[in-house]
Amino acid sequence: MAKLQKEAWRPYFDAMSKELAGKTAEIAVDSLKLGHQIEAEWLPLYGLVYDPKSDIFEVVMEGLDHMIAHPQEVYVDVDASGLNSVEVIDEDDVRQIISLRSPLLLPQSLH
């Protein structure tokens, strides 16, 4: 996982939006108070956005707009296939892990 500097959050995720098309995402929330909880399970992902004016990191999914107020740290896991996950740590030290996956490509039937 690589840590992104705060000034890079908005341009990084703006540029990454094109690569996220067609991916699904799962959001897991980890904290000492709540333990480990799944917030959303493999929904179509529309985008990851950081708005510096309101200091909100937003995960936009089908049927869910997950907002993380006052993020303190953002880590990304990237390999040759692209972005695999994003971890956002908020001001209360709650870790929100957004795992990404591409849809399975089914072989075309032979006719």
Do the domain assignments include residue 111? no
Do the domain assignments include residue 50? yes
Do the domain assignments include residue 106? no
Q: How far apart are CA 63 and CA 92, in angstroms?
A: 26
Q: What is the pLDDT of residues 7-52, one digit of tens each?
A: 999 999 999 988 898 899 999 999 988 899 999 999 999 999 999 9
**Phi, psi (rounded to 5 degrees) for 33:** -75, -45
Do the domain assignments include residue 82? yes
3 state SS of 7: helix
The CATH number that applies at residue 48 is: 2.30.29
Do the domain assignments include residue 104? no
The pTM score is: 0.90
Which tokens sit at 102? Answer: 């591409």
Do the domain assignments include residue 32? yes
How many domains does the chain fold into? 1
Backbone dihedral region of 105: left (phi > 0), alpha (psi from -120 to 50 degrees) or beta? beta
Distance of CA 13 to the CA centre of its chain: 9
Do the domain assignments include residue 107? no
Give the residue numbers spanning the domain of 59. Answer: 2-99
What pLDDT does 21 receive? 84
Do the domain assignments include residue 65? yes
| Contact yes or no for 20/100 (Cβ under 8 A) | yes
What pLDDT does 11 receive? 97
